[in-house]
Amino acid sequence: MTTRPPADIGMPAAEIDTPALVVDLDAYERNLDRMAASLAGTRLRLRPHAKTHKSPVVGLQQVARGAVGVCCQKVSEAEAMVNGGVRNVLVTNEIVGPRKLARLASLARQAEVGVCVDDPQNVRDLDAAARAFGVRLPVLVEVNVGANRCGVEPGEPAATLARQVAAQPGLRFAGLQAYQGRAQHIQDVEKRREAIDLAIAKVRESVDALSRAGLPCEAVTGAGTGSYRFEAASGVYTEIQAGSYIFMDADYKKVEGFPSEFENALFVLATVMSRATRDRAVVDAGLKAFSVDSGMPVVQGRPDLEVQRASDEHGVLLLRDPAAPVRVGDRLFLIPGHCDPTINLHDWYVGIRGGRVEALWPIAARGAVV
Ligand SMILES: Cc1ncc(COP(=O)(O)O)c(C=O)c1O
């Protein structure tokens, strides 16, 4: 179920109804090309994270530029990708519960679908589900490389679980999942490098333990927009999972170093609906149009305006200069603080180029949290 799009193909961008999630197609395509170019000529595979965009249309554009497939975080997200034509999906997460495992195993009959584990009982349950559906699931052991989220500890614990995976008839041990999520937004580039160096050392320790156990490690996958160059240069990672690079957001723009080569390509277009006082204006986009977990949106090209707070349907702007030209009816492009949860609030991407609406893409996995 989706709502009607807030625009029509071909209409001037000035007529898009608001609030709307707008993609600057030129900037977005440059971001896709930059990532593809930065990995070209290496043996690294790009498997971008679809938790960012939640759209098989975007996933297929990434595949067209050389990505091997996409990552997902949820079974329902993976279903949306496969149903939309993406042929290779890695669920970079632990999937628990009989209903979800059945959906995952059934999906693996239609496409290459891998999954991660960090628990022996979960390995047995996955094996049973895979055999019930007559598939052999690729399974990666998730290693805790410093994020302290999911994942077994590096070294022997990783090898022990990998041995168990390799012994199940319905499963195939397919490598290590090693994502250091807490390093991605460390602003200082050297501090970020230090955090990823520690992660790389934990991966090496795990690959060595696997090798002692006689288990070849065909893939080490991880990395995000903030750190991917470090993992790419490590010699141990084989696959890059960056997601946000396609759109960027206000928070990622504060991260120093190489992520800054990517451009802000995603905006919440909003209309000023009130200018009742000298120093305040209000737009028609609030908490239901953008997330605030990583801070308020930034108004594109308007340093004289600050989004001060948001309620459900209102965004309150402080005029840093009371003489700032802001009138009721003005349209503002807000750069969201955090792209992923903002996208999950919308049903449609409105793609614009040269001042016109060129594309309307449904956000097929919007709300796919199961
Ligand atoms: C497992 C995993 N891989 C990759 C990413 C992509 O990170 P980013 O959007 O920072 O590029 C994420 C994001 O949270 C993630 O959870």
- What would the pLDDT profile of 220-269 be if each residue is shown by its tens digit? 999 999 999 999 999 999 999 999 999 999 999 999 999 999 999 999 99
H and E: helices and strands count for the chain: 9, 17
pTM above 0.85, yes or no: yes
Check residue 106 and give left, alpha or beta (phi > 0: left; psi -120 to 50: alpha).
alpha
pLDDT of residue 2: 62
Kindly tell me if the per-residue pLDDT of 109 is higher than 70.
Answer: yes
Beta bridge partners of 172: 138
DSSP string, 304-326: TEEEEEEETTEEEEEESSTT---
Test site for ligand 1: of 49, 58, 196, most ligand atoms within 8 A of the Cβ: 49
Confidence band of 348 (pLDDT split at 50, 70, 90): very high
Mean pLDDT to the nearest integer, 205-209: 98
Between vectors from CA 366 to CA 268 and to CA 292, what angle results, nearest 5°?
45
What CA–CA distance (Å, rounded) separates 81 from 84?
5
Give me the pLDDT at residue 3, please: 84
Closest CA to 236 of 209, 206, 197, 200: 200
Write phi, then psi, for 200 (nearest 5 degrees).
-65, -40
What 3-state DSSP class applies to 176?
strand
Q: How many CB atoms lie within 10 A of CB 100?
A: 17
Residue 169 binned pLDDT confidence (cut-offs 50, 70, 90): very high
Q: How confident is the model at residue 1 (pLDDT cuts 50, 70, 90)?
A: low
The verdict on the CB of residue 177 being under 6 Å from ligand 1 is no
Cα(3) to ligand 1 centroid in Å equals: 28
